[in-house]
Amino acid sequence: MLPLKRIRKLFRRLAHQLTWPTMFLLVLAQAITAYLLFVLAGESALTDHPMDFIYYNMVVVSTVGFGDFSPTTEMGKAIVAFVQIPSGLIVFASFIGKATQLFINLARKNMNGTSNFYHFNDHILLLGWDTSSTEQIIQLILGDKKRQKRKILLCVTEQMNNPFPDNSEVFFVRLRSFSDNEELNRIALSNAKRIIIDGKSDDETLSIALCISTYTNTDANISAHFFDKTKADLLKVHCPQIECSIDSSAQMMVRSMQDPGSSQVTKHLLSTLTGATLYCVQAPELTKAVEFELLFNQFKSKYAMLVIAFSHFKNGDAMILNPSPDALINSGDYLHYIANERITVDEINWDDFS
Tell me the average pLDDT across 324-349: 94
Q: Measured between alpha carbons, how far is 313 from 319 in angstroms, rounded to an integer?
A: 8
Same fold for the pair 2-112 and 260-353 = no
- Kindly report the average pLDDT of the chain as a whole number: 87
| Residues 97-108: tens digit of each pLDDT | 777 777 777 777
Q: Measured between alpha carbons, how far is 127 from 66 in angstroms, rounded to an integer?
A: 54
Could you please state the CATH topology (level 3) that the domain comprising 260-353 is classified under. Alpha-Beta Plaits (3.30.70)
| Residues 46-84: tens digit of each pLDDT | 999 989 999 999 998 887 878 888 899 999 999 999 999
pLDDT-derived band at 183, boundaries 50, 70, 90: very high
Higher pLDDT, 293 or 62: 293
pLDDT at 217: 72
Least confident of 155-164, 211-220, 236-245, 314-323: 211-220
Tell me the average pLDDT across 24-36: 91
Res. 297: pLDDT tops 50:
yes
pLDDT at 2: 44
Least confident of 106-120, 304-318, 328-342: 106-120
Res. 1: pLDDT tops 50:
no
The domain segmentation of the chain, as residue ranges, is 2-112, 124-247, 260-353
pTM value surpassing 0.85: no
CA 47 to chain centre: 47
| CATH of range 124-247; options 3.40.50.1980, 3.40.190.290, 3.40.50.720, 3.30.70.100 | 3.40.50.720
Could you please state the CATH topology (level 3) that the domain comprising 2-112 is classified under. Helix Hairpins (1.10.287)
How open is the CA angle 91-95-99, to the nearest 5 degrees? 175
Tell me the average pLDDT across 148-164: 91
